[in-house]
Amino acid sequence: MTDNTSPSNFLQTIIREDLEEGRVDKLVTRFPPEPNGYLHLGHAKSISVNFGLAESFGGVCHLRFDDTNPEKESQEYIESIQDDVRWLGYQWHGEVRFASSYFQQFYDWAIDLVEQGNAYVCDLTAEEAREYRGTLTAPGKNSPFRDRSIEENIDLLARMKAAEFAEGSRVLRAKIDMASPNMNLRDPIIYRIRKVAHHQTGEDWCIYPTYDFAHGQEDAIEGVTHSICTLEFEDHRPLYDWFIEHLPVPSRPRQYEFGRLNPSYTITSKRKLKQLVDQAIVSAWDDPRMPTISGMRRRGYTPRAIRKFCDMVGTTRGDGVVDVAMLEHAIRDDLNENAPRAMCVINPLKLVMTNYPEGQVEQLTVAAHPSRAELGDRTLPFTREIMIDREDFREQANKKFKRLVLGKRVRLRNAYVIEADSVERDDSGEICAVHCRVIEGTLGENPDDGVKPKGVVHWVSASEGVAVELRLYDRLFTHEAPDKGGEEFMEHLNPESLVVKKDCLVEPGLVQAEPEQIFQFEREGYFVADRYDHSVEHPVFNKTIGLRDTWTRTGNQ
């Protein structure tokens, strides 16, 4: 792992022993996504496991697209997956690989199985095949086509490939054991007729290998030593081993399974995430509320925080749920240390400093970060009229309210102590301004008269500040396990997962923020300049996360 000080997980132990005892000369792992969607947090875990192991044991990790399912795959997904892996900070060994570039080899191996008498062409309909397959408690029955001669099978397979038969009319099956307690060994399908073009091989093929037939052989072709996958493939391992034993493959990969990452309040299924996109519940795969890597990126998550989280949750053979608060903790920690500070007023209320000259602009120099001097300084203009948040002012309040109260004092963050004298109301009776006084000599000092301010509030100059759009994001689901235990995830959408606020005011220096630059808006949370929509003319910041966890304390927001 990236963190070499943490105790070994079971995969590290296995690999260390394989290397020490000479079973393996050099570790080769791979990350094998199917390009049928954008990568999500679960994939980030798999990426960090595979690339992380290669890094820490001096091995290499391949990126291979498991593209045996052309209908659901696309070039868009292929590109986004590569971007995501690179953004997480990993580089695959050599070229990007594709299962589809081995299609001829797979076909040749299918012929080998037929010639050995270990595969046959079956004409059962899908429904009949299901009946013949048996159940978990009852053995299956042999297909009536199981004993076709090798010659007939060779002829039929060639004609399947030559597009002579309709889709669904015939399949090629491995001849293993219809009575096996492991359903995967009950003569599994290894080739289907599918008359669709493929994004890599075009019209070359009208029969495609199944994932199960392709997967282990892909690893064998590439010399992958440790095929690491998630637990749902444990029952497939005997089948993968069977293929490897029966085929003249160049190497023998070994498969090891670990538990899927299952974060609370989150969905990690490409199919369901695609549903959110297709039904326009979110704007796209990279909507900042999506648990996709590109969504988290747009939300302001950093590769460092995601990798840290993947380390923190560990790699085990258990399939437990991980509290998503751990991920939020990781990003808060990272940004607390690394994000420059800035001020932004979300619900502006005007304060007029009656004893401060009109037109005067005082440039205050303040640190970008309270403990990181190397991040430099920023300039904050102070003026007669400033904005604070409406919630930071009350006409009357008890002692618990540590902000501005009429007749009382407060410290303006990085600036003066002020005192509120009177309020100004509009026609509807709502307060539209508060008249205040600057207490002289209080820049970085307490007032001479000994009357200390009650608290600190953030502010922005009304005349020098810049209006911005804030997109306040929150968790997409209000349910801890939105798609588990029969829950219908669409029923658990958080109606407040996105609140857009226009005309918020930020300190003027933020106009220069580059897209994807992240700040702590003091007292409000962490915000990132939107990767696509932010510009000098129209600044847009996305809320990454609040300063504190408001979910665990209240059970909800």
Cite the active site residues: 34, 260, 270
Q: Which residue in the set 27, 261, 349, 470 belongs to the binding site for ligand ATP (CB under 6 A)?
A: 261
d(CA 321, CA 437): 54
- Residue closer to ligand ATP (CB basis): 259 or 539: 259
Residue 92 is encoded by which pair of tokens?
Answer: 């695959």
- The answer to whether residue 63 forms part of the interface with ligand ATP (CB under 6 A) is no
Residues 219-258 that bind ligand ATP (CB under 6 A): 229-230
**Which residue in 470, 505, 511 sits closest to 350, CA to CA?**
505
d(CA 137, CA 364): 77
- Residue closer to ligand ATP (CB basis): 254 or 543: 254
Q: Which residue is nearest to ligand ATP (CB)?
A: 42
Q: Which residue in the set 75, 91, 269, 557 belongs to the binding site for ligand ATP (CB under 6 A)?
A: 269
**Which residue in 129, 56, 43 sits closest to 88, CA to CA?**
43
Contacting range for ligand ATP; rule: CB under 6 A; set: 28-36, 331-339, 380-388, 465-473 = 28-36
d(CA 140, CA 128): 11
Q: Which residue in the set 42, 70, 288, 340 belongs to the binding site for ligand ATP (CB under 6 A)?
A: 42
* CB of 316 vs ligand ATP, minimal distance in Å: 11
Q: Which residue in the set 12, 32, 54, 276 belongs to the binding site for ligand ATP (CB under 6 A)?
A: 32
- The answer to whether residue 33 forms part of the interface with ligand ATP (CB under 6 A) is yes
Instruction: Report how many helices (DSSP H) and strands (DSSP E) the chain contains, helices first.
Output: 13, 27
- Residue closer to ligand ATP (CB basis): 176 or 224: 224
Residues 134-173 that bind ligand ATP (CB under 6 A): none
- The answer to whether residue 34 forms part of the interface with ligand ATP (CB under 6 A) is yes
- The answer to whether residue 296 forms part of the interface with ligand ATP (CB under 6 A) is no
β-sheet with 341-342: strand ranges across: 341-342, 518-521, 525-529, 540-545, 466-473, 498-506, 344-345
Contacting range for ligand ATP; rule: CB under 6 A; set: 138-146, 179-187, 267-275, 462-470 = 267-275
Judging by beta carbons within 10 Å of its beta carbon (0-12, 13-18, 19+), is residue 20 exposed, middle or buried? Answer: exposed
- Residue closer to ligand ATP (CB basis): 32 or 465: 32
**Nearest 5°: CA angle at 506, between 505 and 507?**
130
Q: Helix/strand/coil (H, E, C) string of 374-438?
A: HHCEEEEEECCEEEEEHHHEECCCCCCCCCEEECCEEEECCCCEEEEEEEEECCCCCEEEEEEEE
The dihedral over CA atoms of 246, 254, 30, 311, expressed in degrees to the nearest 10, equals 160
- Residue closer to ligand ATP (CB basis): 477 or 527: 477
d(CA 334, CA 373): 17
Contacting range for ligand ATP; rule: CB under 6 A; set: 37-45, 115-123, 151-159, 198-206 = 37-45
- Torsional class of 516: left (φ above 0), alpha (ψ -120 to 50), beta (otherwise): left
Q: Going residue by residue from 528 to 547, which x/- string records binding to ligand ATP, judged by CB under 6 A?
A: --------------------
* CB of 281 vs ligand ATP, minimal distance in Å: 17
* CB of 58 vs ligand ATP, minimal distance in Å: 22
Contacting range for ligand ATP; rule: CB under 6 A; set: 27-35, 168-176, 452-460, 481-489 = 27-35
Q: Helix/strand/coil (H, E, C) string of 457-521?
A: ECCEECCCCEEEEEEEECCCECCCCCCCCCCCHHHHECCCCEEEEEEEEECHHHHHCCCCCEEEE
- Residue closer to ligand ATP (CB basis): 41 or 456: 41
H runs (alpha helix) in 144-302 = 150-161, 211-222, 237-246, 270-278, 293-299
* CB of 197 vs ligand ATP, minimal distance in Å: 21
* CB of 11 vs ligand ATP, minimal distance in Å: 13
Q: Which residue in the set 45, 62, 175, 458 belongs to the binding site for ligand ATP (CB under 6 A)?
A: 45
Amino acid letter, residue 375: L
Amino acid letter, residue 457: V
d(CA 131, CA 138): 11
Q: Going residue by residue from 173 to 212, which x/- string records binding to ligand ATP, judged by CB under 6 A?
A: ----------------------------------------
* CB of 47 vs ligand ATP, minimal distance in Å: 8
- The answer to whether residue 268 forms part of the interface with ligand ATP (CB under 6 A) is yes
- Residue closer to ligand ATP (CB basis): 261 or 410: 261
d(CA 305, CA 212): 34
Residues 6+ apart with CB under 8 A from 162: none
- Residue closer to ligand ATP (CB basis): 282 or 418: 282
Q: Which residue in the set 148, 270, 304, 411 belongs to the binding site for ligand ATP (CB under 6 A)?
A: 270
* CB of 226 vs ligand ATP, minimal distance in Å: 12
d(CA 353, CA 336): 32
State the residues that interact with ligand ATP by CB under 6 A. 32-34, 42-43, 45-46, 229-230, 260-261, 268-270
